[in-house]
Amino acid sequence: MMMMMMMDTHAFFSLSLSLSHLPFPKFGVIRHHNNNKHASSSYNPHSDNKDSVVSLKEICEGHVPKHVLKRIEEIGYVMPTDVQRQALPFLFSGRDCIIHAQTGSGKTLTYLLLIFSIINITKSSVQALVLVPTRELGIQVTKVARMLASKPIGFQQDQKSCTIMPLLDGGTLKRYKSWLKAEPPTIVIATVASLSQILERQFFMLESVRVLVVDEVDFIFNSSKQTSSLRKLLNSYSSCNNRQTVFASASIPQHRRFLHDCVQQKWTKSDVVHIHVSPVEPMPSRLSHRFIICDTKRKLETLLSLIQSDAPESGIIFVGEQSEKSKKAGNSPSTSLVCDFLKASYQGSLDIFLLEDDMNFNSRAASLLEVRKGGGYLLVATNIAARGVDLPEMSHIYNFDLPRTATDYLHRAGRTCRKPFSDMKCTVTTIIVPEERFVLQKYENELMFNCEEVIP
Ligand SMILES: *[C@@H]1O[C@H](CO)[C@@H](O)[C@H](O)[C@H]1NC(C)=O
Ligand SMILES: *[C@@H]1O[C@H](CO)[C@@H](O)[C@H](O)[C@H]1NC(C)=O
């Protein structure tokens, strides 16, 4: 199923997380092949997955406090997912883990259960730290953590409970500072930038942190802004005693190097476990893929005519992020351009929403809330805007811009179509200029899917 890592390679973890060499190499790690027909049923907490007679509660008993176990049942987590079944025993035994599994596979609950097994709420110190790449993901993780921490029905309410602090970009340092001073939270969920500020000013010390989780680690490592801060943090944490480190991600390109570097840099202990679940067919099978070639100048019209002929029930249009240069030049981001164009030219019945990364959180939340309420909509977003946000089901995904990496393609496509038993089919259409055909072909090879050309 999985194996301790044994690495003797020499290469340094490459920060260009290109998938080109090894989407899923055969050596170093024994992968978990998820080819039984019950595979997808492990998503469903209520399914009677015959392969797993052991419940989540049973796996956690003796490690996770009773009130949390009661909460997971109340919330409806009954059977473990593959990730939980494989990772939790290692995690409870104190091993460091790299949890490498698709979006929706239950990684968040896995590391939160570890955290709840370790923290001691009678102690007044920050004992667990979860690092996330975006504010939105931070908000989601905080929500799940608080849901687990809240007292179940019938439990004594007067006991001290675990406090959880989201330390996310956009909050004010002053507020965090007084909170940390007044009563240190037990669990901190932080973006890298905010955490670095807090640590620099020594508002709390890493020494007290018993578990460090880095979620969506590939994403953090691929952002030059966040990488150096993360490295610094990992290096400081490596000298702490009594530590446990978990990396989680849907994709870890060049993961053998990553494992090697984790050990060499002492970011993890040397017996780190790599849990790699079901990467054999990473692309959800309910997706079909198409591409259409056109000139840059005709991309908007092409998009419009695709939408008109597809008549989606609902769809998302992914647009590339605006470059710093274009921002400085005062240009509108492509998301707004696409959105404005559609608002002006699209004649169908779907509502058009913008989900933009620079948008303040309230309007982003409001825009998603709108989307969830009703049926037909077209959502215009960047990868970043969509990362960490629970997207509604879509019938169509459009890549207005070619994703920059195969991983990004997978993330975009895998963002919707997540519900375990929905049989909604979803079509992913990528609009490319002629020179981009080979890049898309590369993604197809790497991720093992087929893209059919749409001839206009
Ligand atoms: C992520 O990596 C790709 C491929 O190396 C690179 O082109 C891209 O600019 C990176 N993204 C960020 C946000 O740094
Ligand atoms: C929790 O912390 C308190 C205070 O430091 C200590 O007395 C107690 O033994 C700890 N409990 C466990 C289970 O470690």
What residue owns the CA closest to ligand 2's atom 13? 120
Homologous superfamily assigned to 2-276: P-loop containing nucleotide triphosphate hydrolases (3.40.50.300)
CA–centroid distance, residue 405 to ligand 1 (Å): 8
Whole-structure pTM value: 0.59
Query: 160 CB less than 6 Å from ligand 2?
Result: no
Q: What is the mean pLDDT of residues 111-124?
A: 94
Q: What pLDDT shows up at residue 324? A: 81
Handedness of CA 135, 139, 140, 146 (dihedral sign): positive
| Strand partners of residue 187 | 128, 164
Q: Identity (one letter) of the amino acid at 250?
A: A
CA–centroid distance, residue 110 to ligand 2 (Å): 24
Tokens 């692309």 belong to which residue? 283
Round to whole Å and give the CA distance between 135 and 191: 7
Q: What pLDDT shows up at residue 104? A: 65
What residue owns the CA closest to ligand 1's atom 13? 223
CA–centroid distance, residue 16 to ligand 1 (Å): 7
Q: Could you tell me whether strands 211-215 and 377-381 are parallel, antiparallel, or unpaired per DSSP bridges?
A: unpaired
Crossing angle (nearest 10°) for helices 107-118 and 135-149: 50
Q: What pLDDT shows up at residue 344? A: 95
Tens of pLDDT, residue by residue over 233-270, are 999 999 888 899 999 987 787 788 899 999 999 999 99
Tokens 């909604």 belong to which residue? 424
Round to whole Å and give the CA distance between 87 and 372: 33
Of the ligands numbered here, which is closest to the C-alpha atom of 321?
1
Average pLDDT for the chain = 80
Query: 223 CB less than 6 Å from ligand 1?
Result: yes
CA atoms within 13 A on the CB side of 267: 22
Round to whole Å and give the CA distance between 307 and 286: 20
Of the ligands numbered here, which is closest to the C-alpha atom of 242?
2
Specify the range with the lowest mean pLDDT, choosing from 81-85, 166-170, 406-410: 406-410
List, in sequence order, the alpha helices (H) in 251-330. 255-264, 299-310, 324-328
Q: What pLDDT shows up at residue 44? A: 34
Round to whole Å and give the CA distance between 247 and 268: 9
Q: What pLDDT shows up at residue 154? A: 76
Q: What pLDDT shows up at residue 41? A: 28
Handedness of CA 397, 403, 407, 408 (dihedral sign): negative
Angle at 292 between CA 289 and CA 294, to 5 degrees: 160
Tens of pLDDT, residue by residue over 16-34, are 333 233 233 222 233 333 3
Q: What is the mean pLDDT of residues 350-366?
A: 73
DSSP for 121-132, please give it.
TTS-S--EEEEE
Q: Are 213 and 129 in contact (CB under 8 A)?
A: yes
Probe ligand 1: pick from 134, 257, 404, max atoms within 8 Å of CB?
404
CA–centroid distance, residue 160 to ligand 2 (Å): 13
Please give the backbone phi and psi of residue 4, each rounded to the nearest 5 degrees, phi first: -65, 150
* Closest by CA position to 129, among listed 243, 268, 252, 255: 243
Residues 6 or more apart from 363 whose CB is under 8 A from it?
A: none
CA–centroid distance, residue 411 to ligand 1 (Å): 14
Fold match flag (2-276 vs 287-453): yes
Round to whole Å and give the CA distance between 408 and 424: 22
Query: 17 CB less than 6 Å from ligand 1?
Result: yes
Domain boundaries, given as residue ranges, for the chain: 2-276, 287-453
CA–centroid distance, residue 162 to ligand 2 (Å): 14
* Closest by CA position to 321, among listed 304, 344, 338: 338
Round to whole Å and give the CA distance between 109 and 417: 20
Residue 238 buriedness (CB in 10 A; 0-12 / 13-18 / 19+): middle
Please give the backbone phi and psi of residue 357, each rounded to the nearest 5 degrees, phi first: -70, -25
Q: Which CATH architecture has domain 287-453?
A: 3-Layer(aba) Sandwich (3.40)
Entry field: residues in the chain: 456
Tens of pLDDT, residue by residue over 133-191, are 888 889 889 999 999 998 877 777 666 778 999 999 887 778 888 888 888 899 999 99
User: Which tops the pLDDT comparison, 331 or 10?
Assistant: 331
Angle at 259 between CA 402 and CA 219, to 5 degrees: 30
Round to whole Å and give the CA distance between 164 and 142: 7
Round to whole Å and give the CA distance between 251 and 279: 9
Tokens 């899917």 belong to which residue? 449
- CA of residue 391 relative to chain centroid, distance: 12
Tokens of 24: 């899923």
Please give the backbone phi and psi of residue 7, each rounded to the nearest 5 degrees, phi first: -125, 140
> Is 264 strand, coil or helix?
helix
